[in-house]
Amino acid sequence: MRTKEELFAEKLSLESRLHQTEKLGSVGRLAAGIAHEINTPTRYVRSNIDFLHEASKEINTLWGQLSKLIATAHKDKKLEDDFANTAKNYFETADWEFLQEEIPKALVQSQEGLRRITKIVTAMKNFSHPGIGNLEPSNINLGIQSTLTLATNEWKYSAEMELQLEDTLPLVPCYPDELNQVFLTMIINSAHAIAESTHNKPEGKGLITIVTQKIGAYVQIDISDSGAGMSAEVVEKIFEPFYTTKEVGKGTGQGLAIAHDVLVNKHHGSIDVQTKLGQGTTFLIKLAITQPS
């Protein structure tokens, strides 16, 4: 017969495997969206670089022709009509007005594309931060923003995102990678709730609102959506393992159960739900600024 210690160790091992399975599933889910988000700015940066490469050839040719023209005009002491007409022809051949207008635009667009790629790569680094195995002071706002960047493809088609993040929020002792996984679960769930409630409706996108604030000894994170809300019967079960209201193949029922475990058992925090059918849902997460010994 197994001892209590063996059973407890087995329980911890099972929980760890479930967490890893959910995380791997989320990473796989995000991969296609991340590839799309990186591919779009990469494509127009490449297009602009091709344009600038061709433009540089035209500019070099134009400058070479003008240099020869100036040298000849100086030698012949002739800087009047012939010079002006020839120079005008050179500029027209190079389509100088077009180059003057489009080169700055191409550079600005390329800079924006590279900034976007940098932001996504930085978000990937922050989201996947493995931590040190212990609670460490972390920037909750940064974790939320990094997760939103990576999950953009999950919510941008169904919802607008409104952030009300308190600038002076204190650092919170936590396991950053597991907490980011919780944020990812909540954001995806909110996006799905909105998508289901606005499906085939003319009013279009819904709204996800994320608010962070310090309240006493806690940091509170409110994640609200304008979806269809939940009944009292559903609310009673949403944190139960394997419970899901989604269609077969669209959810394992593990996300909120793991989120509850991470927040309550690992961080000594809390997660509560405020919802009303037809009026949306708000999840209220509280994390202690100082963890108990």
26-40, 202-216, 279-293: which range is least confident on average? 26-40
> What is the average pLDDT value for the chain, to the nearest integer?
78
CA 268 to chain centre: 27
Percent above pLDDT 90 for the chain: 24
d(CA 16, CA 133): 13
Decide which of 278 and 281 is more confident: 281
The SS3 assignment for 265 reads: helix
Lookup: tokens for 289: 């600024």
Where helices occur in the chain by DSSP H, the ranges are 4-76, 81-93, 96-127, 140-150, 152-155, 176-197, 232-237, 255-260
Contacts of residue 65, defined as CB under 8 A and 6 or more positions apart, other chains included, come to 90
Q: Are 160 and 205 in contact (CB under 8 A)?
A: yes
Maximal C-alpha separation, the chain: 109
Task: Please report which confidence band the pLDDT of residue 252 belongs to, taking 50, 70 and 90 as the band edges.
Answer: very low
131 pLDDT tier (thresholds 50, 70, 90) = low
* 72 or 8, greater pLDDT: 72
Q: What is the mean pLDDT of residues 235-262?
A: 70
Answer whether residue 259 shows pLDDT above 60: yes
What is the pLDDT, as a whole number, of residue 1? 61
pLDDT level of residue 240 (50, 70, 90 thresholds): confident
